[in-house]
């Protein structure tokens, strides 16, 4: 664990498996934060923390993260076995992946990369468009809230099956069909590195300035 990073102990409130291998971990709130920020998390006696986007609203009484169980990972197998009142070590929130009230926003995510956008939504921010790519309908997390608050501007891109009211394909497939992108919008990308690179290159090829593309990569 880096000596320059201060970690505090937080008690677990709840652990819920949303779909196979995908979990929401809630823990006590000790810090203020801005929607889109991240924290480093570790478990006592395990020296290597991992970074997660906060997935809760700025005014929520608890903090939470969304994580994908990696059976060969160092941390997620341990996180997936936690119970209420267990403790984790959490850094103070940090990072500049923040919502912009001055420009219309597009949020583009795959998998658990939806987490910072849920934090933004719960904190009162709204996107002009939200694209969420996932493998199967069970992995469109927080769909009811996104649909209620964003309406038809919330697009589910299902890469493995065809379902009613979903786009069949990847987020890149959906974006390829769009001829014009507003160059003054801010385009937020969050997900696997390959998706981020492909979407960034696609947006640039269609005239979006590089500086208007804000990326967060999930490993």
The more confident residue out of 218 and 52 is: 52
Q: What is the pTM of this model?
A: 0.94
Question: How many angstroms separate the CA atoms of 63 and 192, rounded?
Answer: 23
Using the CB atoms, write b or e for 152-176: b if 16+ within 10 Å.
ebbbbbbbeeeeeeebebbbbebbe
Average pLDDT, the chain: 94
pLDDT for 1 equals 41
Go through the domains of the chain in sequence order and give each one's CATH number. Answer: 7-91 (2.40.30.10), 105-218 (3.40.50.80)
Given a cut of 50, is residue 215 above it in pLDDT? Answer: yes
Q: Band of the pLDDT at 219, cuts 50, 70, 90?
A: low
The average pLDDT across 181-209 equals 96
């Amino acid at each position: 664990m880096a000596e320059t990073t201060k970690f505090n102990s937080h008690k677990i409130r709840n652990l819920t498996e949303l779909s196979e291998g995908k979990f929401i971990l809630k823990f006590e709130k000790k810090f203020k934060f801005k929607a889109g920020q991240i924290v480093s998390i570790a478990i006592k006696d395990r020296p290597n923390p991992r970074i997660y986007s906060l997935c809760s609203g700025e005014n929520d009484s608890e903090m939470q993260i969304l994580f994908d169980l990696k059976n060969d990972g160092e941390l997620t197998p341990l996180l997936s076995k936690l119970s209420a009142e267990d403790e984790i070590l959490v850094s103070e929130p940090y990072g500049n992946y923040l919502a912009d009230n001055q420009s219309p926003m597009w949020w583009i995510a795959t998998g658990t990369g939806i987490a910072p956008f849920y934090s933004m939504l719960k904190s009162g921010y709204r996107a002009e468009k939200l694209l969420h790519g996932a493998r199967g309908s069970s992995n469109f997390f927080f769909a009811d809230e996104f649909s209620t608050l964003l309406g038809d501007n919330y697009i589910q891109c299902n890469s493995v099956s065809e379902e009613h009211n979903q786009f069949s394909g990847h987020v890149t497939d959906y974006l390829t069909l769009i001829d014009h992108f507003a160059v003054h919008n801010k385009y937020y990308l969050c997900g696997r590195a390959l998706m981020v690179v492909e979407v960034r290159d696609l947006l640039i090829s269609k005239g979006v300035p590089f500086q208007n593309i804000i990326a967060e990569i999930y490993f």
